[in-house]
Structure 1
């Protein structure tokens, strides 16, 4: 995507907060934003163990897309409360094979996000596809920030009794479970629009590599995504959780939504991070995705990321 192409369109200003470097869906999400002609990617911040290496993965993918202009910041690598869980980015093992800037300072993401939002009040859409530590720190540092956002899209939650009863829950609800205190802070904030994409919907977007042959050979950007995601794909499926939250910033009709209120459990050890949704017809800021048009989503995603530009 070139600046000339962007200027010819009505663009949406996006900040991506991500735990890129593990599950391939973060890289698939970034690839979509880099190729989406209506996206002005203002900045990227990383969260999670070894946040600096995660930031270098994001920067390498930007380089592969020819977008060295996008600022990338390393954020918090530890949760708000002490925890023995500190995941590391396996995909960062591929960094020697891809050009990138060296990022050796962490904990700069919150200041950068705060500055960008205050400089562009009510214009910036925040897309959060990792655990919410950076966002919670931002909201606590500057309590006016939530109201200065244009909108907040979050990939988190389950919102399905059947899935909640599964053997991998609540840990399977990773973005909420890993830092439930941060999640509770973010969902308690007064944001103009807060839209959540849970596993009950995103899990419908699983795709085998055989179903889309040549996906990671279509262009240099997708080759980088495939390479950084290869450690994950060696033992996991490819599910487009995060790309859905990104795509719906530009094509909200890909999903149907329900309005209500979300609460986060941060006190009960057996249900840490469980997000409960209560439907409501009141003027509440929370919308959750309840259905997705799978065929239309993949048609849109591949047209953007693997198209002729």
Structure 2
């Protein structure tokens, strides 16, 4: 089996019911409103994640929970053990004192066999009792987007099964997004250990192809060729992640990751951080194609420059600026 990041990509808040509105905001946003600050630069975010396999999903969620300009409207999880992934997300939300709806989503790809069936980081959870509503994630995403037309940024940092299902089931939804931001694909020849492939896309290549072809007003993708350039050793992670109680939880979960890995690459955190500091990367407009016939595995992505395209991909990164941005939210 070919795996990205070796190729492996792949809580506790009490279960939040569907009665929790999609309008629930992060505690930071609520505090700002209480102080009379409308936070004009804040962004309404829906996070779709496969937290629990690669540790960078948890690193990204910690950033979003501490980012004062993030109005986190909800979280959906994707790929195998979606319930366990929801518990991991809930654990971080509880630690950050943030209440937001959490829904387990689709566990299997549209057409290909599952390559990500478990969430190893759940082994670090101290409680496994919480459960979350099944078979409601897609409707939750639809309801939230429709409640805030042209205001919601959908941040997808896992395989795109939930997003493709949402767009297929409710075809009016893509046009109602403000932006779809994706960690996925590889759009240049920058060397990585797995050639032209990237995990989030090859796990569900048919979903990726449908999503990149959707009529979203704006799609922004940060590929593996860019995120691979931003990494830390276990020693660096241990030193920096003791600076905040939320990061200490992620540090504990990272023990599972570092059992088999030598570095933490900030794939998803970089993608999340560009929402609030776009200058971290340079972007170029163009067309993205997902090859369903590529060998030895479907899902190789390609990029062709097109100034008229509604898709833009990252073409470089300022690593030092990223780390400054990332850790800045934990020192306020």
Counterpart pick for 1:134 among 162, 165, 169: 162
Q: Secondary structure, in 3 states, of the residue corresponding to 1:217?
A: coil
Compared CA separation, residues 144 and 23, structure 1 to 2 (3 A):
same
Q: Secondary structure, in 3 states, of the residue corresponding to 2:275?
A: helix
Displacement after TM superposition at 1:104 (Å): 4.4
Q: Deviations over 1:107-149 (max 9, x none)?
A: 3211100000011100000000000000000000011111100
Displacement after TM superposition at 1:217 (Å): 2.0
**Residue 96 of structure 1 aligns with which residue?**
126
Counterpart pick for 1:222 among 244, 247, 262: 247
Displacement after TM superposition at 1:167 (Å): 5.5
How far apart are the structure 2 equivalents of 1:204 and 1:248? 15
How far apart are the structure 1 equivalents of 2:193 and 2:29? 47
| In the alignment, structure 1 residue 307 sits paired with structure 2 residue 324 | no
How far apart are the structure 1 equivalents of 2:32 and 2:315? 31
Counterpart pick for 1:43 among 40, 59, 74: 74
| In the alignment, structure 1 residue 268 sits paired with structure 2 residue 289 | no
Counterpart pick for 1:13 among 44, 51, 55: 44
**Residue 146 of structure 1 aligns with which residue?**
174
| In the alignment, structure 1 residue 86 sits paired with structure 2 residue 86 | no
Q: Secondary structure, in 3 states, of the residue corresponding to 1:22?
A: coil
Q: Deviations over 1:53-104 (max 9, x none)?
A: 101100011111111x11110000111114152331100111225xx87124
Preserved contact between residue 160 and residue 208 of structure 2 (Cα < 8 Å): yes
Counterpart pick for 1:66 among 94, 97, 110: 97
Displacement after TM superposition at 1:291 (Å): 0.7
- The structure with the largest helix share of the pair is 1
Preserved contact between residue 209 and residue 215 of structure 1 (Cα < 8 Å): no
Counterpart pick for 1:238 among 247, 264, 268: 264
Displacement after TM superposition at 1:209 (Å): 3.4
Q: Secondary structure, in 3 states, of the residue corresponding to 1:204?
A: coil
Q: Secondary structure, in 3 states, of the residue corresponding to 1:214?
A: helix
**Residue 186 of structure 2 aligns with which residue?**
158
Q: Secondary structure, in 3 states, of the residue corresponding to 1:258?
A: strand
Preserved contact between residue 51 and residue 106 of structure 1 (Cα < 8 Å): no
TM-score, normalised by the number of residues in structure 1 = 0.92
**Residue 120 of structure 1 aligns with which residue?**
148
How far apart are the structure 2 equivalents of 1:197 and 1:105? 31
How far apart are the structure 2 equivalents of 1:132 and 1:84? 13
How far apart are the structure 1 equivalents of 2:153 and 2:129? 25
Compared CA separation, residues 181 and 4, structure 1 to 2 (3 A):
closer
| In the alignment, structure 1 residue 76 sits paired with structure 2 residue 102 | no
User: Structure 1: any 5+ residue segments left out of the alignment?
Assistant: none
User: Structure 2: any 5+ residue segments left out of the alignment?
Assistant: 1-26
Indicate the RMSD between aligned Cα atoms, in angstroms: 1.7
Displacement after TM superposition at 1:162 (Å): 4.9
Displacement after TM superposition at 1:280 (Å): 1.4
Displacement after TM superposition at 1:208 (Å): 1.4
Compared CA separation, residues 212 and 77, structure 1 to 2 (3 A):
closer
Displacement after TM superposition at 1:5 (Å): 3.8
Displacement after TM superposition at 1:220 (Å): 1.9
TM-score, normalised by the number of residues in structure 2 = 0.86
Preserved contact between residue 21 and residue 229 of structure 1 (Cα < 8 Å): no
| In the alignment, structure 1 residue 33 sits paired with structure 2 residue 97 | no
